[in-house]
Structure 1
């Protein structure tokens, strides 16, 4: 299997990290992979904010947990009540991925950038987790100002990055093959 397919098949969401920071060159490689993602009309409508500050990451997690507890979703409420739960899984850093407000397809384009970063991290043996629950922090303009995101961008997702604390769990079974091939009708 070639290295790209190997990274696709082996990547898992990491939820336990070692505390030491990533090497600068590894982080740069991962961020650069995000910059090379495809985007609508090559608009590249993303901005990456790298949060290394442990105090800020802990605060962001607490804000998210408060939002989760008030969500009315049983599974979120249960997670939020767990005193050990940390939205960023105590990773040494998180990348906040923001999209250009007036971009053509910022949700899709930033998702492509994130996938590139996740695969680049895996190729380097670095753990990552795409964090949709960060949206509870992003819902507060007052909190978002703490991230110093450039004007014209909205934070959409976050990604935790760090060295894996242990081996990855085996891949769960894929849910069938939801693939259909359509061909031109036979004459």
Structure 2
């Protein structure tokens, strides 16, 4: 099997849900963001990255997301929204929101997803833990949604599509689990 550093990082990357309180270094966040900027896209780079490292704002986002979840029809999400112990950001010191221009001429979800994946791979490659988070997006459906958009200075016409948290890993990452069989079909 062919292997190199890039393939090794891809195979060892795991979602981290336990972080140290220590903030990641500025040069680390810059390297992660630069990787996001170099993601494949439809040529218009119609994304925007919002980096939140303010503890009070992170907690506000967590609480707003839980309020949004409490109003969902999905029982599992409602239960998490009502769980006083649950922190959707896993107490990570950094959150990055990847937003996309809603007027872009191609489906932006794919471009923003590619950028988010680059953020995660870059983090792993430099020893920073990361986790792709959906739940926090529920904050924008809460009563605080408009206020949060303003406080986060999200550009007008941009929609938050994806988020990920970043920080130093507090847990030892276990062995890589085997991938499911029969996920590939060759037609030659």
Provide the TM-score with structure 2 as the length reference: 0.91
Q: 2:22 maps to which residue?
A: 20
Task: Tell me how far apart the structure 2 counterparts of residues 45 and 84 of structure 1 sit (CA, whole Å).
Answer: 36
Checking the alignment, whether the CA contact within 8 Å between 1:98 and 1:157 is kept in structure 2 is yes
Task: Tell me how far apart the structure 2 counterparts of residues 37 and 27 of structure 1 sit (CA, whole Å).
Answer: 16
Structure 1 residue aligned with 2:136, among 112, 134, 148?
A: 134
Task: Tell me how far apart the structure 2 counterparts of residues 36 and 154 of structure 1 sit (CA, whole Å).
Answer: 20
Q: Which moved more, 1:158-167 or 1:64-73?
A: 64-73
Checking the alignment, whether the CA contact within 8 Å between 1:137 and 1:144 is kept in structure 2 is no
- State the superposition RMSD in angstroms: 1.3
Cα deviation for residue 181 of structure 1 reads 1.8
Q: 2:159 maps to which residue?
A: 154
Checking the alignment, whether the CA contact within 8 Å between 1:134 and 1:157 is kept in structure 2 is no
Query: How far does the alpha carbon of each residue in 1:80-100 deviate from its partner, in whole angstroms, 9 at most, with x for none?
Result: 232221111111110011001
Task: Tell me how far apart the structure 2 counterparts of residues 123 and 177 of structure 1 sit (CA, whole Å).
Answer: 29
- 1:172 to 1:78, Cα distance in 2 relative to 1, 3 A: farther
Q: 2:177 maps to which residue?
A: 172
Checking the alignment, whether the CA contact within 8 Å between 1:130 and 1:159 is kept in structure 2 is yes
Uncovered stretches (5+) of structure 1, i.e. residues with no partner: none
Cα deviation for residue 70 of structure 1 reads 2.2
Query: How far does the alpha carbon of each residue in 1:113-158 deviate from its partner, in whole angstroms, 9 at most, with x for none?
Result: 0101100000111100111112211232332221101122111111
Uncovered stretches (5+) of structure 2, i.e. residues with no partner: none
Checking the alignment, whether the CA contact within 8 Å between 1:138 and 1:156 is kept in structure 2 is no
Cα deviation for residue 33 of structure 1 reads 0.2
SS in 2 for 1:90: coil
Q: 2:96 maps to which residue?
A: 95
Query: How far does the alpha carbon of each residue in 1:9-65 deviate from its partner, in whole angstroms, 9 at most, with x for none?
Result: 11111111101111111110000000000001x111110010011001101001111
1:81-120 aligned within 5 A: 81-103=82-104, 104-120=106-122
Checking the alignment, whether the CA contact within 8 Å between 2:24 and 2:167 is kept in structure 1 is yes
Q: 1:31 maps to which residue?
A: 33
- The number of equivalent residue pairs is 182
Task: Tell me how far apart the structure 1 counterparts of residues 158 and 70 of structure 2 sit (CA, whole Å).
Answer: 27
